[in-house]
Amino acid sequence: MKNILVPVGSSKNALSHLQYAVDFAKAFGAKLFIVQVYNVYTKAGTMIKVDHIIERESKAFMDNLVSKIDTKDVEVVIKTLKGKLVDTLELACKKADIDLILVEPRTNSIRDEVFLGKTSGKIIKQTEIPALIVPEGYTFKPIENILFAIKSAIIKKSDALVPLLSIKNNFKSIVNLLLVKTPYFKEGDFVVESQLLDHVDKITKTKNATTYQGVLEHFQSHNPDMLCVVRRKRGFFVKKWEKNVILKKEFSSSLPVLVLRGLK
């Protein structure tokens, strides 16, 4: 893992999140890109040029944030980018060859009952970028135990597991695979091929209405440091990700959640 990107918002958790990002990047010897995306909406007839003002203020805001954290000799690149959030982030990730995007649950100061805010939810739902959701106030520590919850072990995209394997190899993590049989189960879904099997320490099979319910049932027995799930059309958060905002009563995690791109 060489390049990591962190979108910055105006949340009270921004400093904590940036420090985690620096510590995480240092563990991999990775370069850290800290970005803020802004858009300008002008009324008809408005003649004032505000782009350069917003860009200057955004850059000053991020410089101030970075000055308050310990960068620990990590190479940090600060960027202000104009455009629509998802399109701009995807373009930036492609240009900088980003391996992982670190997302804080709420990039803006919003209601306490919200787990993923509109901006964070949009990044998770609408992009194909592998992401790590870091809980608010979470302090970095080595990832020793990973619970990887999926309902189908069929893998057609050769690079889908790269973020997970990179973390496993770097921290020498134990990976426990939780196969959840849901009403959408198809023959062959539980056949674990070598590209995954070779990296798994233990396999548990369960039957639940959803992958999330399977996680809730087996979470304590596995006691993970990180939860890993897959973004797919009928995967984890299938109904929750139909909207961008996710409430804590629908899903919440006190641990980092690695969200892989679809496996198929």
pLDDT higher than threshold 70 for residue 87: yes
Number of domains the chain contains: 2
165 and 229 co-located in one domain: yes
Q: DSSP label at 169?
A: H
9 and 127 co-located in one domain: yes
- The CATH number assigned to the domain holding 118 equals 3.40.50.620
Least reliable range by pLDDT among 42-46, 137-141, 150-154, 156-160 = 42-46
Average pLDDT value over all residues in the chain: 83
CA 181 to chain centre: 25
**In this predicted structure, what is the pLDDT of residue 253?**
62
Residue 13: band (very low, low, confident or very high) from pLDDT cuts 50, 70, 90: confident
33 and 129 co-located in one domain: yes
**Residue written as tokens 């999926």?**
150
110 and 152 co-located in one domain: no
Angstrom distances, CA of residue 197 to CA of 61, 181, 191, 200, 202 = 46, 18, 9, 5, 9
Reported for 22-26, long-range contacts at CB under 8 A and 24+ positions apart, including other chains, are: 22/69, 22/70, 22/71, 22/72, 22/74, 22/76, 23/72, 23/140, 24/102, 24/132, 24/140, 25/74, 26/72, 26/73, 26/74
**In this predicted structure, what is the pLDDT of residue 12?**
82
Residue 43: band (very low, low, confident or very high) from pLDDT cuts 50, 70, 90: low
pLDDT higher than threshold 60 for residue 247: no
Asked if residue 232 is part of any domain, the answer here is: yes
Asked if residue 140 is part of any domain, the answer here is: no
pLDDT higher than threshold 80 for residue 113: no
Boundaries of domain holding 102: 3-133
Residue 6: band (very low, low, confident or very high) from pLDDT cuts 50, 70, 90: very high
- For the record, the structure tokens of 163 come out as 């973020």
For the entire predicted model, the pTM comes to 0.84
**In this predicted structure, what is the pLDDT of residue 33?**
97
31 and 129 co-located in one domain: yes
Residue 108: band (very low, low, confident or very high) from pLDDT cuts 50, 70, 90: very low
154 and 226 co-located in one domain: yes
230 and 182 co-located in one domain: yes
**In this predicted structure, what is the pLDDT of residue 22?**
97
